[in-house]
Structure 1
Amino acid sequence: MDSTKEHNKDKDNHWEWRLSASARMAAELDPVRFGVKAVYVMGSTKNATAGPASDIDILIHFDGSLHQRKELLLWLEGWSLAFDEINFQKTGHRSGGLLDVHIITDADIAAKSSYAVKIGASSDAARRLPLKNESDPTK
């Protein structure tokens, strides 16, 4: 494959590398350390429509302490900045961070509030990503 075709292929798979990177991030997330029950991807990354300026919408089902939440947000910021650098290398576009993180709790899920409605929705449901030491929850 010549370099022009390879470059064009790379330009067309914005959702693909974002989904793969999100899955890798979730696979590295220690749920006990951070008080996380589940991680989901949603939006254009999940729907395979992400473009060069698209963020990565992440939904986190959280059940931890305030300290765990602070640590989780710092950990996610590192990934967000790293993903932004990858995107810059691929597209020349910087956003200051690629992750758009939404944290929900058991209470949000019970009340079906905010982004919690995306879990198990009949249309455009969030896609669960396996966490560290967890098999694929979709299988």
Structure 2
Amino acid sequence: MYEFATFQEARFFRRSVTGAKKHPWKAWASLELIGPLSPRTAFLTHAVGTAEQIQRLIEAGHRPSGSAWQLLRQFAGNIPGALDSERVEPVRVISAARTEAAVHQVSDIADRRAAATRAWSRLNDVEQLFGTAPHSTGS
């Protein structure tokens, strides 16, 4: 099925699916576009996922690998407030990543939705489905 970073993204997807009977692929098109903040929101989403997985391993009595801790440290080093000392704490990474993601995700979804709307209005049905050659912007 589909995974969504935010409740707003899931709600938009559901609304799009129910309103896209003629072109059902339009429902997920904006989720596939990349906006200016998409790489950062994806980074934060993956940081949360990695930290949650490490936390689950610890809670289940398993020892996470050194590679897992190294990956989490790399994530934490790029998230303000996620790394305070030499020891990486999954709970702290999750909290810091979610705090920053809350700032960026709404704008990211809006940017991708606006880009999808522009594409839908400028491209014919075949171009929307299969793409088109790049066009000069005239700059």
Considering the TM-score relative to the shorter chain, is it more than 0.5? Answer: no
Higher helix share: 2
Higher strand share: 1
TM-score bracket relative to the smaller structure: under 0.3
Between Structure 1 and Structure 2, whose CA radius of gyration is higher? 2
TM-score normalised by length of structure 2: 0.27
